[in-house]
Amino acid sequence: MRVAFLGLGRMGAPMAAHVIRAGHETTVWNRSPGKTDELVALGATAAGSVAEAVGGAEVVVTMLFGPEAAREVLSEVLEHAPRGALVIESSTIGPEAARELGAQLAGGGLRLIDAPVVGTTGPAQEGTLGVLVGGTLEDYNAAKPLLELWGDPAKVRRIGDLGAGSAMKLVINITIGVAAQGLGEALSLASTLGVDRAAALDVLQTGPFGFTTTQKRAMLDAHDFSATGFSLDLLTKDLELALRAAGGAMPATSAALGGARGAVAAGHGDEDYSAMVGWLEGPGSQPAPYFSVVLDCADPERLAGFYSDLLGLPVVWRAGAFVVLRPVVRGTAALIFQKVDDPGRGKSTAHIDLHIADLEASTKRALELGGAVGEDVSDVGMSWRTMRDPEGNTFCLVPG
């Protein structure tokens, strides 16, 4: 079979190697140079462009960073691949992008299945990944012999129609993020309460966080997250995709995205995602900072100043996020962030909950800084006050 493999990162390269070893005529391409040499030594042909890689291919496999990269590369595939070719999109791009790209490729005579993988670099090298497939049964059956080269046959599964594999992948990956967030907070609390760290990890291995704690124990013990299996920047992207796809509040996932973005902003994006646990645990096991992304922000420096003055905490704009630089103390201020739709403004905004000690004092200060009062709300035993910041983003003052 003539196969073009596009994207040779931590996961793509070992996946492509299985295709080559199985004897398929394989052409490989990667945007950044230097990634093709080992695969060429195995018998692949290196291409200098997407067009060169996919010309004459019966199957095109893509393993890219996310939906933006997939759109860019697949637009070239659409232009240059032979009509009737099957495209296996293995990147995590979300169900919306998968269906969008499937429709575009179908218009040009190409077939697409979304087939994101479950597992890290170890299973990729061993050929034991899980594979979650969305697409027609006919296309799934056509792709299955290749999918079972990098996937464990027992874990290669058609979830449903196009986009279903990508949807299931987001369902899985929010559990990774939420577990990392919870484990980091648990270790921070253990430190605050004076619990021996090794003893805490031992016990946590026997509880609900047991899988994550056991799998990442060596990294956590060494405080070294450089042996990346699944990078933190990829997890961050996947949590963003999940929240976008959900279209509603997912507080635990929003908190996990906050932890992930904070660790990325601190320079851990290329490390293993468990670096998020270490960052949440904090220097000297102090409570971790909280932060948010505010969407549609025209003047981030101005808005950073607003929230800094309102909270009495240093807030800066860094790596697309508002970051609180000092640990948040219970009873002073806590931040929870989620994306919400605001039909009145015709766009999505950032919804920000500020848990404050004194509602009236915080309201007065917000007005002095250019904010505006909305309304007081009570629901399920809680009450809060909605307000707008100087750029019109909604935030809520929550007493307690």
Q: Which residues are catalytic?
A: 169
Could you give the CA distance from residue 233 to residue 239 in angstroms, rounded to a whole number? 10
The secondary structure element, H or E, covering residue 199 is helix 197-204
Query: How do 117-118 and 129-134 pair as beta strands?
Result: antiparallel
Q: Could you give the 3-state DSSP secondary structure of residue 156?
A: strand
Tokens of 330: 């219970």
Closest by Cα among 320, 294, 259, 323 to 394: 294
Could you give the CA distance from residue 205 to residue 5 in angstroms, rounded to a whole number? 39
With a CB cutoff of 8 Å and minimum separation 6, the contacts of 259 are: 177, 180, 181, 184, 276, 279, 280, 288
Region for 327 from its dihedrals, namely left if φ exceeds 0, alpha if ψ lies in -120 to 50, beta otherwise: beta
Tokens of 8: 């040779």
Q: Could you give the 3-state DSSP secondary structure of residue 114?
A: strand
Phi, psi angle pair for 321, to nearest 5°: -140, 150
Could you give the CA distance from residue 324 to residue 335 in angstroms, rounded to a whole number? 9
Q: What is the 3-state secondary structure (H, E, C) of 291-332?
A: EECCCCCCCHHHHHHHHHHHHCCCEEEECCEEEECCCCCCCC
Length of the chain: 400
